[in-house]
Chains A and B, each alone.
Chain A
Amino acid sequence: MKSLRIYIPILLFLSCSGGESEKNISEFRIAQFITESNNIEYSISNEKGIVEKGKLNFKKVTEYLSTEPGTYNLTIKENNNLILNKKIGMGKGKYTLCLIGEVLKEQKANKITSKQKMHNIVAGAEGTTSNGYLPQLIILNDYFSVKKGKSKIRFIHTIPGLTDLSAKINKERKTKTIKKVKYPHPSESHTLKTGKHSIKIYYKDSPLKVLDTSMRIDQNKLYTSLLYRNSDNQIEMYVIKSDKH
């Protein structure tokens, strides 16, 4: 009996034919939300050479680009000035490489504050801070798991210097509240039913609404809602979608 109890999980593991079966390729897209920077050049390379390069204006997102898993070098230039030069790993799966912050005049590459340096040392990938609102790369994992027929949504506050925000998502009298959307971290993902939802963004702990919009939710998708400030100083939302792997 005891041995049976031990062998059941082995048999279960071995008998199953594999799950989500992610393809053995990396897919990434680049989202340009460095405030008001309209002349951003990106380049992704590995030891074999440049894999992808291009130009992006503010609030523009590339399509997913495919490459083989490995370690890559990402360089970001603004007006030909190198502002970010990062080594990143990309495994199989989908990623959004989100560029946020604000460029200083004569910005040096990879400029970081002392606070950010200390957090990098002690917390690594979880040590992201506002970095004094200087340009930085936030890597978003586009993997998600959701009940069939539903979808997920997450918010990202990309507005340097603006206080924390909160969000309320409403559909047919049911409201989901995301209490804190803090620069530059993605919020937790929340499950939504399909259909039209109204979305309201507030200053955190305040009844003051900064955005009132609506969006249609389809099934089995991850919606990433990037909150940014437009040239009229109004807060807006740019939504990008990912399908289930």
Chain B
Amino acid sequence: MADSNNKLKPVSVWALTAGGMVGGGIYTVLGVVIAVSGQWTWLSFLITGIIAITSAYSYVFLSNKFNEGGGAFTFLKEFNDDKLAGSLSWLLIVGYVLTISVYAYAFGHYVAYSFHGGGIMIRILAAGIVAGLIILNLAGVGKMTNVEITIVSVNLLVLLILAVYGISQWNPAELVAGIEPRPVWSSLIGGAAIFMAYEGFQLLSYEYDRIKKPEKNFMPVLLSAVGFVVFLYILVAVGATMLGGAISMINFKQIALSIVAEKTFGTTGIIVMTIAAGFATAAAINSTLFSTANLAKNIADKNELPQWFDHKNDSGIPDRSIIFLGSLSGILAVTGSLSSLVEAASLIFIVTFGIVNFLAFQESKKHRWVPVLGIITAIITGIVLIFRLIISKPVAVGILMFLIILIVLGRPYLLNSSKK
């Protein structure tokens, strides 16, 4: 348990939630969803935002009920479903590793672009940021809450200004500039494709015991933060596209917001956006790495991961988890574009949120419509995502299916061998 003075105040929880979501999300997914949904991109963010808000409610409800952090893994353990808890937690860790890789790749792209750098520079920067954050975390200075909150504040402000400025220049033609207008139903497919933009809030459920008076504060703070992010994404989807034009956002999707800033504010815009994106993606890598390593350690503590992960260094940091997961992410980031794989990994997050909503539905006596809404939207979004992946990224689906089979079948064997 954290010392009561070191506990996270509501403002900190709010900022870390919003930062954890926005940090990597909007910088990497905007071009993808515009390609699919065109002028309905804002609706994509709204539809998928419903899963995020309802899931946030369910996460807090279950965390308060069990008075424990750990997210889906802990909830399933409480329901005595050890097998599903173990398998899902392994899959979640895979999802987080891929997410960190994509954030690192986005960091490389945004920073390299401002120096007119190409492929090699992008990879060096991606590997470098992960390596740097591994070292910082091992030294025990990885979780600098105040620094993170400052970064998040600046990041949110930059995005908000960009979005509001874009909307003030109202020009709906830009929402379909260089593309064919899309039908309204495409918003469902677009939302499914970019679900990873919303997964960040669950990291806070792993920090439950660090939150000040969680039973009182966690629900309003998490819901308002997630709600704000949904609102911000909708504003950015409209405002930034009105400045950048749809086709530029699609063609330059890895650096879409830098292109918008460059087109609108010139060199100054690029500098500000590079700083904002660089710090935001770095903070998102940091918090995801820190939380995932802690999650891995906790899972190992409950014998659902090999004991090798249940190790701390002198600073009390889960060193092996950080090195292993961080290195894996760094290697994946260096190998190149992972967007297909991450999209497949989004399925893991959708399934997880669906399960958490289901558990909340079973446990709750009032407001049951909230998790029900989450379950329904998660099922629809999951089916749509599977359909999209089978058609456009069959290899990624194949890899994900292989991983699921490997984890479900191989996990018990690996755990037994590690105990011997």
Is the C-beta of B266 less than 8 angstroms from some C-beta in chain A? yes
Q: Which of B157, B171, B174, B388 contacts A10 (CB 8 A)?
A: B157
Nearest Cβ on chain A to B367's Cβ, whole angstroms: 35
Contact (Cβ within 8 A) A89 B179:
yes
Q: Are A19 and B266 in contact (CB under 8 A)?
A: yes
Count of chain A to chain B residue pairs whose CB atoms are closer than 8 Å in the complex: 159
Contact A71 B36 (CB under 8 A): no
Q: How far is the CB of A155 from chain B (nearest CB, A)?
A: 15
Q: Assess whether B319 is interfacial by the CB under 8 Å rule.
A: no
Query: Do A90 and B189 have beta carbons less than 8 Å apart?
Result: no
A213 to chain B, nearest CB (A): 24
Point out the residue from B37, B116, B150, B174 that lies within 8 Å of A5, measured CB to CB.
B150
A9 and B265 form a contact (CB under 8 A)? no
Which residues of B lie under 8 Å from residue A123 when comparing CB positions? 35-36, 388, 391-392
The answer to whether B178 and A89 have CB atoms under 8 Å apart is yes
Are A87 and B36 neighbours in the complex by a CB distance under 8 Å?
no
Q: How far is the CB of B363 from chain A (nearest CB, A)?
A: 36
Kindly state whether residue B67 has any CB partner on chain A within 8 Å.
no
Complex interface: stretch among A55-63, A91-99, A201-209 = A91-99
Beta-carbon contact of B388 and A93 below 8 Å: no
Q: Among B223-231, B268-276, B304-312, B395-403, which stretch is in contact with chain A?
A: B268-276
Flag whether A119 is at the interface (Cβ < 8 A): yes
Q: Is the interface of A mostly helix, strand, loop or mixed?
A: mixed
C-beta contact mask, A6-26 vs B, less than 8 Å → 1, else 0? 100110110111111110100
**Is B250 located at the chain interface by the 8 A CB criterion?**
yes
Which listed residue (A9, A18, A24, A124) contacts B158, Cβ 8 A?
A: A9
Q: Determine how close the nearest CB of chain B comes to the CB of A174; give it in whole angstroms.
A: 13
Contact A124-B266, Cβ < 8 Å, known A9-B158, A141-B178, A147-B116: no
Whether, in the assembled complex, A161 has its beta carbon less than 8 Å from a beta carbon of chain B, the answer is no
Assembly CA distance A115 to B190 (angstroms): 19
CB distance from B315 to the nearest CB of A (A): 27
CA–CA, A150 and B269, complex, Å: 21
B220 contact set on A, CB distance < 8 A: none
Are B173 and A139 in touch, CB under 8 angstroms?
no
Q: Which residue of B lies closest to A97 (CB)?
A: B178
B176 contacts A191, CB within 8 Å? no
Encode B23-52 as 1/0 by CB contact (under 8 A) with A. 000000000101111100000000000000
Complex Cα–Cα for A88 and B182 (A): 10
Label chain B's interface by main secondary structure: helix
Number of residues from B at the complex interface, CB < 8 A:
54
Which residues in B have their C-beta under 8 angstroms from that of A69? 171, 173-174, 177
Partner of A9, one of B177, B276, B391: B276
Contact A20 B266 (CB under 8 A): yes
B154 touches A (CB below 8 Å):
yes
Smallest distance from the beta carbon of A206 to chain B beta carbons, Å?
23
Contact string against B for A residues 54-86, beta-carbon threshold 8 Å, 1 for contact and 0 otherwise: 000000000000000111000000000000001
On whether the beta carbons of A126 and B178 are closer than 8 Å, the reply is no
Residues A16 and B268 in contact, CB atoms below 8 Å apart: yes
Say whether A238 faces chain B, with CB atoms less than 8 Å apart.
no
Tell me which residues across on chain B come within 8 A of A195, comparing CB atoms. Answer: none
Q: Within 8 Å CB of B276, what residues of A?
A: 9
- The residues of A that contact B35 with a CB separation of less than 8 Å are 123-127
Mask, B148-167, CB within 8 Å of A = 1, is 00100110011001100100
Residue A105 lies at the interface, judged by CB distance under 8 Å to chain B: no
Q: Who on chain B is nearest to A127 by CB?
A: B392
B321 CB-CB contact with A under 8 Å: no
Q: How far is the CA of A168 from the CA of B351 in the complex (A)?
A: 46
4 nearest A-B pairs in the assembled complex, by CB-CB distance: A91-B177, A19-B266, A89-B176, A16-B268
Would you list 13 pairs from A and B whose C-beta atoms are within 8 A, ordered by A residue?
A6-B154, A9-B157, A9-B275, A13-B265, A16-B266, A89-B176, A123-B36, A124-B37, A125-B34, A125-B247, A126-B35, A143-B247, A147-B116
User: Which residues does B use to contact A, with CB under 8 Å?
Assistant: 32, 34-38, 116, 118, 150, 153-154, 157-158, 161-162, 165, 171, 173-182, 186, 189-190, 245-248, 250-251, 259, 261-269, 271-272, 275-276, 387-388, 391-392
Report A's interface with B, CB cutoff 8 A: 2, 5-6, 9-10, 12-13, 15-22, 24, 69-71, 86-93, 95, 118-119, 121-127, 139, 141, 143, 145-147, 191
